[in-house]
């Protein structure tokens, strides 16, 4: 059964969060807002199917999808099935946009396959709080709205965390491979294949996490192992170069100096003197 409420806003404008409007089980008629809407909105797709158009891009909205439209964002949405039912909430407050910006959630987002039971319970509670208390309802609803936003953030974070977890697993496999095979001649395309991503994407992952390209990271691992051999073995610099994957002694010296600001021979002499 369709329910909606638009509370009268007075001193609630001083609150960090307050509800502007709310609807439950709304049959969704077509909406087109060339200049956007003044307030941020979150929608819960209950049943049926619709689509949202933002900046010329169309996003399908099946059931169990939560989507957010930021304020003043030109948009339109309409049903694709005979009946598309939504819960929705529009809100404002001095801390709303700063909070969403801090959470990196102040942009159009649609998250499918969501267990929305808790979101629905909170938004229903907000409705009845506003309905039953005309004097202080929006003040009480302010705290409930904050709960709603936190729950929305959790859903968004879970969606993102699954993506980043996959990226972390891919990186971990590559790092383990490098540690186990650094003496061998490793190529970038081999590492990308292990990660299951393109060479370009692997480079982006390394840049983001280590501020290095994959082959630079490999060189640092080789240098680190070379440092141990220089200090704790009597092997020649040529032997250490071969054992750590550099093969060419001159190239080994160039790379070592790039990272340690001294040659392998100088490093060995200094460490030997310090250990006496």
What is the DSSP annotation of 47-110?
Answer: ES-EEEEETTEEEEE-SSEEEEE-TT--EEEEESSS--EEEEEEEE-TTHHHHHHHTT--S-EE
Report the C-alpha gap between 101 and 88 in whole angstroms: 21
What share of the chain has pLDDT > 90, as a percent? Answer: 70
> Contact 45/74 with Cβ under 8 angstroms?
no
What share of the chain has pLDDT > 70, as a percent? Answer: 95
* Least confident window among 46-50, 128-132, 155-159: 155-159
pLDDT band per the 50, 70, 90 thresholds, residue 134: confident
* Least confident window among 69-78, 130-139, 232-241, 267-276: 267-276
Predicted pLDDT at 187 = 95
Report the C-alpha gap between 86 and 89 in whole angstroms: 10
Report the C-alpha gap between 214 and 197 in whole angstroms: 13
Report the C-alpha gap between 261 and 231 in whole angstroms: 17
Neighbours of 15 (CB within 10 A): 21
The listed range with the strongest mean pLDDT (9-13, 76-80, 209-213) is 76-80
Predicted pLDDT at 135 = 83
Average pLDDT over residues 95-113: 93
Predicted pLDDT at 85 = 95
pLDDT band per the 50, 70, 90 thresholds, residue 153: very high
- pLDDT digit string, tens, across residues 155-196: 888 765 555 555 666 788 898 899 899 999 999 999 999 988
* Least confident window among 17-21, 42-46, 167-171: 167-171
Q: pTM above 0.75? A: no
- pLDDT digit string, tens, across residues 242-253: 999 998 889 999
Strands 85-92, 18-27: parallel, antiparallel or unpaired by DSSP?
Answer: antiparallel
């Amino acid at each position: 059964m369709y329910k909606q409420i638009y509370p009268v806003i007075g001193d609630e404008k001083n609150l960090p969060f307050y509800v502007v409007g709310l609807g439950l089980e709304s049959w969704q008629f077509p909406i087109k807002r060339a200049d956007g809407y003044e307030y941020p909105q979150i929608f819960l797709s209950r049943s049926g199917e619709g689509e949202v158009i933002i900046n010329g891009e169309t996003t399908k909205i099946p059931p169990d999808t939560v989507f957010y439209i930021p304020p003043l964002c030109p948009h339109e949405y309409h049903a694709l099935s005979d009946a598309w039912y939504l819960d929705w909430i529009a809100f404002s407050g001095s801390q709303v946009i700063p909070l969403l910006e801090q959470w990196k959630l102040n942009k159009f987002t649609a998250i499918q396959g969501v267990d929305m039971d808790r979101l629905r319970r909170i938004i229903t509670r907000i409705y009845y709080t506003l309905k039953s208390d005309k004097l202080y309802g929006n003040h009480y609803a302010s705290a409930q709205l904050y709960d709603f936003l936190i729950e929305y953030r959790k859903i968004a974070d879970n969606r993102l965390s699954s993506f980043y977890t996959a990226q972390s697993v891919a990186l971990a496999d590559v790092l383990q491979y490098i540690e186990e095979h650094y003496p061998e001649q490793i190529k970038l395309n081999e590492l990308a294949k292990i990660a299951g991503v393109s060479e370009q994407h692997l480079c982006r992952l390394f840049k983001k996490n280590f501020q290095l390209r994959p082959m630079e990271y490999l060189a640092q691992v080789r240098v680190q192992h070379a440092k141990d051999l220089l200090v704790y073995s009597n092997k020649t610099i040529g032997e250490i170069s071969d054992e750590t994957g550099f093969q060419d002694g001159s190239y080994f010296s160039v790379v070592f100096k790039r990272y340690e600001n001294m040659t392998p021979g100088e490093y060995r002499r200094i460490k030997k003197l310090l250990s006496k």
